[in-house]
Amino acid sequence: MPAAISVLLDPRDVQVRADDPFRLDFPALTDHHAICIGLTMEPRHHDMLRAFALRHTLADEHARAERFARPEDGLRNLIGRALLRKVASHYGGMDPAQIIRSNTWGKPELEGCSTGCNISHTGNQVWVAVSRHAHVGIDIESAIAPQEIRDLAAGFHPDEVAALRKMQDSRNATMRCWSRKEAVSKATGLGVSLPLRAYAVDCEVRPSSWLRVAPPKTSRNDWTTVDLPVGKDYVAALAIEGPVSKVDILKLKLMP
């Protein structure tokens, strides 16, 4: 099991307006430091959030959002892109109006951005992570594993499969394991092309240092891995290929 590495998590709630949810005092981003920003969306604010997102995203992103079967899924996607643009421009100097392309495996490529950024969203949650290290991945999931993820778990690394079989809270543990694996695979930039058996995470409740077997061509000691405090209905993980000693966590709450 990897030795525990001390990572200071600094979570705080930030009240924001639904018509301009990303107007806030962003903390400074230093070396060996990461910032995670998460927005909790509420149905009564959807119209204002949609108007904001349309103003801060491009036509191709609007078209993509329209293709979602459920309007709330399209809105969540748009808000995520708007937040990604805000963070990449503020911290990385990216032109907020530029087209964001994706690599072969779906990870956004932020041309002209000097920082690593990644995005994840599910349910009423939209999260972005940023670090001076280029390889950063964040993932948030529902706390209870749906059947499709439980089926995928049979293809996890053998150590993970064995651990999950022994655990009584297997549905929660499966999602804890899955969110950690997703964060790591997203950080590598390989996404779903990285075989699930090629790397392993700890499935137990463990707030940090849960990477057990590093992805190919990397060393376990190169990684910083932590769970994020997102409430009982979700699980979330952050993985960064590089040393990080502090993670600022801004949880954006919409004003009534």
pLDDT single digits (tens) 63-111: 999 999 999 999 999 999 999 999 999 999 988 888 887 777 777 777 7
Q: What are the Cα distances from residue 175, in Å, to 71, 119, 162?
A: 25, 18, 15
Residue 5 has pLDDT above 70, yes or no: no
Cα 3 to Cα 180: distance, rounded to the nearest angstrom: 17
Mean pLDDT of 192-202: 95
Q: What three-state secondary structure class fits 201?
A: strand
pLDDT tens-digit series, residues 126-150: 999 999 988 999 999 999 989 999 9
The residues, ordered by sequence, that sit 6+ positions from 156 with a Cβ below 8 Å of its Cβ are: 164, 177, 181, 196, 197, 200
pTM listed for this prediction: 0.93
Residue 62 has pLDDT above 70, yes or no: yes
**What are the domain boundaries of the chain?**
8-254
The residues, ordered by sequence, that sit 6+ positions from 166 with a Cβ below 8 Å of its Cβ are: none
- Asked if 13 and 249 touch (Cβ cutoff 8 Å), the reply is no
Cα 224 to Cα 72: distance, rounded to the nearest angstrom: 33
Q: What are the Cα distances from residue 181, in Å, to 59, 140, 243?
A: 32, 11, 19
Cα 231 to Cα 199: distance, rounded to the nearest angstrom: 27
Find where tokens 């959030």 sit. 49
Q: How confident is the model at residue 112 (pLDDT cuts 50, 70, 90)?
A: confident
Strands 116-122, 108-109: pairing kind:
unpaired
Mean residue pLDDT of the chain comes to 92
The domain 8-254: what is its CATH number? 3.90.470.20
Residue 1 has pLDDT above 60, yes or no: no
Q: Which residue has the higher pLDDT, 191 or 159?
A: 159
What is the token pair recorded at 217?
Answer: 């061509």
Which of 46-50, 51-55, 191-195, 225-229 has the least mean pLDDT?
191-195
Predicted local confidence at residue 4, as pLDDT = 52
Measured CA angle at 61 (ends 57, 65), to 5 deg: 115
